[in-house]
Amino acid sequence: MTVSGSGGFETTFFGTSAAVPHVGAIAALVLQAAPCLLDGGRGALDPVAARLALRRAIVDTAVSLNGGGAPDNESGSGRADAIAAIQGTLPAFTGATTLVVDANSGSGATLTAAQLGFADAASCGQTRLAWTGGCGTGPGDALTCPRGTSTVSVSASRNGVSFSAPVDLHITVR
């Protein structure tokens, strides 16, 4: 990483002294998106697993600068990509966009993020949903759809701040 102009630097400088503050900031953003990676946080992973997951989130999403894709002695793993690192910790939608479920209460069906098809990429286990459409109002830990067919736009979050892209679902409750 090369830094210039900021704070009145007359000449550019590069190397780990320029990269560390940037990567540290990306690490803080990843920890905000996946609080289970913080020791003692809600649903915290064990410290070793948390450190490895944080490292993977940053290193595995870095953009290679050498054209070969493998780390090297000049650019390491490449340019850290904050957006990719954060997106990799958010719940990812892996399910079907049309669901048919049986009612599990008198008012319809209550569905969690996992039942809707969101996978927990960071293994945090604390997923929050936000939605609009025919299944009440969000956000919440689960949505309740009435009997019949509802169309909802749903996104999932680990911290209630950074949400995945919304997914349009058609849910039929029998």
- Global pTM? 0.69
Residue 126 CA from chain centroid, whole number = 12
* Helices 47-59, 16-33: crossing angle, 10 deg rounding: 120
How confident is the model at residue 34, as a pLDDT? 84
Cα(107)–Cα(144) distance, integer angstroms: 8
| Long-range contacts (CB closer than 8 Å, 24 or more residues apart) made by 55-61 | 57/30, 57/85, 57/86, 57/88, 57/89, 57/122, 58/23, 58/26, 58/27, 58/30, 58/85, 60/88, 61/85, 61/88
Which parts of the chain register pLDDT below 70? 1-10, 12-13, 39-43, 122, 125-126, 161
Percentage of the chain modeled with pLDDT above 70: 87
How confident is the model at residue 38, as a pLDDT? 80
The CA–CA distances, whole Å, from 135 to 39, 72, 77, 104, 139 equal: 35, 51, 44, 14, 11
How confident is the model at residue 169, as a pLDDT? 95
149 strand-pairing partners: 172
How confident is the model at residue 23, as a pLDDT? 92
Residue 166 CA from chain centroid, whole number = 13
Residue 147: closest CA among 108, 106, 113, 105: 108
Domains defined along the chain, listed by start: 2-87 (no CATH), 92-173 (2.60.40)
What is the β-pairing status of strands 118-119 and 148-157? unpaired
SS3 132: strand
How confident is the model at residue 77, as a pLDDT? 84
How confident is the model at residue 102, as a pLDDT? 94
